[in-house]
């Protein structure tokens, strides 16, 4: 018997499928196969979940842009150089995020 789980093919020998005393599949193996069949499939996200994720992403991006703008303005007021490192430290964001928003 061959099962595909998360893109991996698992092969189970026929002799492992049957219990020697009863001639049936062991209960734990039957249960495992039921669980794999039920949960081993990718379930597409609903339109509502996709839209919620997009909205949350936009909100987070807007907040980050605001942090970068505020950090740049603060650095200008202080007369300091505006570098991605200083913007990141001032805004409390990562260096790569600061670079990303300064370049856009």
Mean pLDDT in residue range 67-85:
96
pTM for the model: 0.58
Domain locations along the chain: 2-39, 47-103
13: three-class secondary structure by DSSP = coil
More confident residue, 31 or 88: 88
- The backbone region for 6, taken as left when phi is positive above 0, alpha when psi lies in -120 to 50, beta otherwise, is left
Q: Mean pLDDT score of the chain, rounded to an integer?
A: 84
What's the rounded Cα separation, in Å, for the pair 92 and 73? 14
> Cα–Cα distance between 86 and 43 in angstroms, integer?
43
Q: Above pLDDT 90, what percent of the chain? A: 54
């Amino acid at each position: 018997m061959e099962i595909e789980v998360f893109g991996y093919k698992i092969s189970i020998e026929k002799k492992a499928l049957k219990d020697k005393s009863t001639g049936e599949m062991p209960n734990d193996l039957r249960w495992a196969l039921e669980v794999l069949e039920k949960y081993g499939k990718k379930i597409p996200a609903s339109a509502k979940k996709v839209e919620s994720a997009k909205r949350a992403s936009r909100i987070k991006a807007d907040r980050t842009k605001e942090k970068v703008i505020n950090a740049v303005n603060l650095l200008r007021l202080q007369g300091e150089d505006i570098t991605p490192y200083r913007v990141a430290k001032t805004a409390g964001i990562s260096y790569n995020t600061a670079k990303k928003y300064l370049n856009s």
